[in-house]
Structure 1
Amino acid sequence: MFKVKAESNLSLSSFQLVQSSLPARTLAYTLALLFIFSLLILPFVPWQQTTVGIGRVVAYAPLDRQQLIESPINGRVVKWHVHEGTRVKKGDPIINISDNDPDFIDRIRSEKNALLSRLEAARSREDSIRARIISLRSSKGSAVDAAESRRLMALDRVRGAEQAVDAAKANLKATDIQLDRQKLLVEKGLASKRNLELAELDHTNAVTGLDRARAALDAAKKEARAFGSDTGKVGEDAEAMINDARASLASAQAEVARVLEELPRIEARLSRQQTQEVYASRDGTIMRILVNPDTQQLKEGDGVAIIVPDSEDKAVELYVNGDDIPLIREGRKVRLQFQGYPVLQLAGWPEVAVGTFGGIVKLVDVSDNGSGSFRILVEPDKEDRAWPSSAYLRQGVRVRGWIFLNRVSLGFELWRKFNDFPPMLPLEEMNKIE
């Protein structure tokens, strides 16, 4: 009996030794209660939906972003005035380029001078033809007036010949009457035969005169018709000469136009070849030199250096997945982490973020970049703390950004994440879709 009781006491003592202590049990109960409480309040905890974008710092104005300096001519690098990291002002020399053919510029100048000579000759010919047209028009008027005067004179001669015919007819009629009268008197013995012969002679002369007057009238009419035709011919010949001169004038004008068309191209080539020294287009810093001096041949348009313009007007270029792009629009708030700046960012509770900088969405691209990501442009939030200066925040610095979307419950957000659903569209957009 004593032995069994001793064993029972020993067993109870061992059990007590392996039991959890009271503080441990209290902690376990507390954690379990907290877990259950968390599950109960989870649907009601507010959560800020965010989407993450990765990008870099850029200048807000496109002209202030890094630029490629190009070679204006074909040639070879002769001298560099800068090196990588050199700060330059607008108009400072960057590089000297020499043409591969040292006589090329002289030949272009000779070609330009030849074009100018052609232009001068064509314009002189144009002026000469214009003067000739004016002279032909003047001579045409004089020639037409002279031909018209000859035609009118011929008409006057026709009228004179008609009057002569009328006079000859009247004279013939008078001689006929006189001849008949003399014949009657001779038959009655009242006149001599000599008077009859004279009357017959006058009659014969009157007939001859009528024939002569008629011939003169016919000749005058033919001459009048000839002068009338000559008047039209003079005008047509003069107009033909004027038209020929106009054709020559058009040819001269076409030559002037061809020369004027070729001249700008020659001047552009000459200007490009003369531009053998490249200057900085803006204030900035030479970031990279792309060609070697004295050894590398350049073509027109080849890049020789990269310049980063000075600009305090910074922006951030972020790329966001297309699943979240429906809710991103201008005016959305953004929290930014710049490369080299430690941060503490709780996406759902931006109020407790530390080390981030504020931004506002300024632009959302209407199309993706070809891989399903959309570019957005973020400008500084003037109501937040200022971004670092250009000495620390240079163009190209990597950036991570959190774009704030809608306010939802934490339970909804976890359910959305577990199911890989996109953010909910705005109500007005859903109504449009329906």
Structure 2
Amino acid sequence: MLNITNNKLHEKVDLLQYEAGKKVFNERNQKYFNRFLIAFGIILILILFLPWTQTVAGTGYVTTLTPDQRPQTIQSPIPGRIEKWYINEGDYVEKGDTILHISEVKNEYFDPKLVDRTGDQIKVKESSQDSYKNKIQFLTNQIDALQQEKSLKIDQAQNKLEQSKLKFRSDSIDLEAAKTNLEIAERQFERARTLNEEGLKSTTDLENFRLKLQETQAKRVAQENKVLASKNEIINSRIELNRIEAEYNEKVSKTQSDRSSAESALYQTQADISKLETSYANYDTRRGLYYIKAPQSGYINKAIKAGIGESFKEGEPLVGIMPSNYDIAVETYVAAIDMPLLHIGEEVRVQFDGWPAIVFSGWPNSSYGTYGANIVAIENFISANGKYRVLLAPNEEDYQWPEDIRIGAGASTLALLEEVPIWYEIWRQLNGFPPNYYTPESATKTKESK
């Protein structure tokens, strides 16, 4: 009853006369209740000192341990149009099995004999290449012949020059002899004239000496002409030598120019052949891309591009595939404040969506329906959801994970940290403090070994 009046009922009415009053105000009941309160308080105090495992909670989903085991989409590296499907959704395919056939949508690849025609162009270019090689060889032989002919002509001109020099020397000697004869004739004429004037020589003898003098002068002049002619022959021989040198240098230069042009054409042909061979390889490889094949064994999830005649661009996903052989793992996300508390190799308890579980976060050994895992990778950059990604692998020493679990299923995780008393955990939760930071022994040993 509410105490809203100054009239005290228990002073006017004796409550002990009623059965209920007797039970309530019985001293024996009060003694039991007090004992119960004392026992409950002692148990509560003892519970506060029980060990409690600190945990870091996270949510994620089931994935695979390695990237090549995760679901993927199959794309075509070239644009095309769907012509025929060889599989249905849900079918199992082996690596290399044909999934669908596509056709070209670019007009430069419509020719069905494009590869063969490119091969014919390569053969024609190779024949042209051989022709240029033969031409270069012929021009090289021609240059060698011109060099030999030039050498012979130069030797011939050198010999003629030497002959002209010898003739010039011989004519010069004859000229000196003619000069000597002229001097002798002049002295004889002078003596004859002196004797004639003295009357010792006749006029006839004087005329004979005069005639002999004139003949000697004529021989000298003739010999001088021969010397000049010989000297002119030397000059002509040198001119001929220079002419031969210039003529054959011009012929060799022209032939070398023709050879250089042939070599340039040969190199251009070789470049054309290389381009055609690249085009041939590209066309041949492109022809093999008309059949989209499975990159690995697995199950076809979904046909992203369906129907016949539907066009698509290069790199556009066509069909999804799930590998048949994979190692299951869990991808979970933790808050940034808990990130420094996690280390590679630490134990984690995992609860899968759809599997019944009773979870005591502080007493993992008493939980039911959770499975053991270990941290194998911690992302160093924050994800788009504002948390850090942590990859978990099954703990081989714990219970085996469910076989029927599927990739993409939801999961809740509890990373097991340090053990603390319950009173400390309550105090930490009330004050909003993070779990205790500590370094596991495995991480310490790793740092010491480094």
Q: Normalization by structure 2: what TM-score?
A: 0.81
Gaps of 5+ in 1: 1-6, 430-434
Paired position in structure 1 for 2:366 = 352
The count of residues paired between Structure 1 and Structure 2 equals 420
Paired AA for residue 55 in structure 1 = G
Match of 1:315 among 329, 354, 368: 329
Cα distance in 1 for partners of 2:139, 2:339 equals 74
Paired AA for residue 430 in structure 2 = F
Map 1:250-269 to 2 at 5 A: 250-269=264-283
**Partners of 1:72 and 1:272 within 8 A in 2:** no
**Other structure's SS at 2:178 match:** helix
Match of 2:79 among 44, 67, 74: 74
2:40 matched to 1:34? yes
Paired position in structure 1 for 2:223 = 209
Match of 1:83 among 77, 85, 88: 88
Paired position in structure 1 for 2:430 = 418
Paired position in structure 2 for 1:12 = 16
Map 1:22-421 to 2 at 5 A: 26=32, 30-31=36-37, 34-35=40-41, 38=44, 42=48, 44-100=49-105, 104-106=110-112, 108-109=114-115, 112-113=118-119, 115-117=121-123, 119-187=125-193, 188=195, 189=201, 193-228=207-242, 230-231=244-245, 234-235=248-249, 238-239=252-253, 241-243=255-257, 245-389=259-403, 392-421=404-433
Cα distance in 1 for partners of 2:343, 2:254 equals 75
Moved more, 50-59 or 8-17: 8-17
Cα distance in 1 for partners of 2:31, 2:129 equals 112
**Partners of 1:112 and 1:267 within 8 A in 2:** no
Cα distance in 2 for partners of 1:426, 1:229 equals 100
**Partners of 1:71 and 1:301 within 8 A in 2:** yes
Question: Would the alpha carbon gap of residues 24 and 264 (structure 1) be closer, same or farther in structure 2, given more than 3 Å must change?
Answer: farther
**Partners of 2:118 and 2:276 within 8 A in 1:** no
Q: CA RMSD in A?
A: 3.4
Question: Would the alpha carbon gap of residues 25 and 125 (structure 1) be closer, same or farther in structure 2, given more than 3 Å must change?
Answer: farther
Please state how far the C-alpha of 1:242 moved relative to its aligned partner: 1.8
Paired position in structure 2 for 1:3 = none
Please state how far the C-alpha of 1:250 moved relative to its aligned partner: 3.0
Moved more, 220-229 or 274-283: 220-229
Please state how far the C-alpha of 1:240 moved relative to its aligned partner: 5.5
Question: Would the alpha carbon gap of residues 409 and 151 (structure 1) be closer, same or farther in structure 2, given more than 3 Å must change?
Answer: farther
Question: Would the alpha carbon gap of residues 115 and 410 (structure 1) be closer, same or farther in structure 2, given more than 3 Å must change?
Answer: farther
**Other structure's SS at 2:100 match:** strand
**Partners of 2:51 and 2:419 within 8 A in 1:** yes
Cα distance in 2 for partners of 1:116, 1:202 equals 87
Cα distance in 1 for partners of 2:53, 2:308 equals 60
Please state how far the C-alpha of 1:331 moved relative to its aligned partner: 0.8
Moved more, 45-54 or 85-94: 45-54
Cα distance in 2 for partners of 1:404, 1:258 equals 68
Cα distance in 2 for partners of 1:368, 1:20 equals 65
Please state how far the C-alpha of 1:73 moved relative to its aligned partner: 4.1
Paired AA for residue 13 in structure 1 = Q
The alignment-based identity, stated in percent, is 23
Please state how far the C-alpha of 1:168 moved relative to its aligned partner: 2.9
Cα distance in 2 for partners of 1:25, 1:85 equals 73
Paired AA for residue 374 in structure 1 = Y
Moved more, 368-377 or 100-109: 100-109
Gaps of 5+ in 2: 1-10, 196-200, 444-450
Cα distance in 1 for partners of 2:131, 2:289 equals 36
**Partners of 1:89 and 1:283 within 8 A in 2:** yes
Cα distance in 2 for partners of 1:66, 1:134 equals 65
**Other structure's SS at 1:323 match:** helix
Paired position in structure 2 for 1:4 = none
Question: Would the alpha carbon gap of residues 284 and 230 (structure 1) be closer, same or farther in structure 2, given more than 3 Å must change?
Answer: same
Cα distance in 2 for partners of 1:348, 1:416 equals 14
Cα distance in 2 for partners of 1:168, 1:290 equals 114
Question: Would the alpha carbon gap of residues 243 and 58 (structure 1) be closer, same or farther in structure 2, given more than 3 Å must change?
Answer: farther
**Partners of 2:372 and 2:395 within 8 A in 1:** yes
Question: Would the alpha carbon gap of residues 273 and 175 (structure 1) be closer, same or farther in structure 2, given more than 3 Å must change?
Answer: same
Paired AA for residue 291 in structure 1 = K
Cα distance in 1 for partners of 2:60, 2:287 equals 41
Cα distance in 1 for partners of 2:373, 2:132 equals 68
Question: Would the alpha carbon gap of residues 200 and 371 (structure 1) be closer, same or farther in structure 2, given more than 3 Å must change?
Answer: same
Question: Would the alpha carbon gap of residues 132 and 319 (structure 1) be closer, same or farther in structure 2, given more than 3 Å must change?
Answer: farther
Question: Would the alpha carbon gap of residues 196 and 259 (structure 1) be closer, same or farther in structure 2, given more than 3 Å must change?
Answer: same
Cα distance in 2 for partners of 1:52, 1:261 equals 61
**Partners of 1:126 and 1:249 within 8 A in 2:** yes
Q: Normalization by structure 1: what TM-score?
A: 0.83
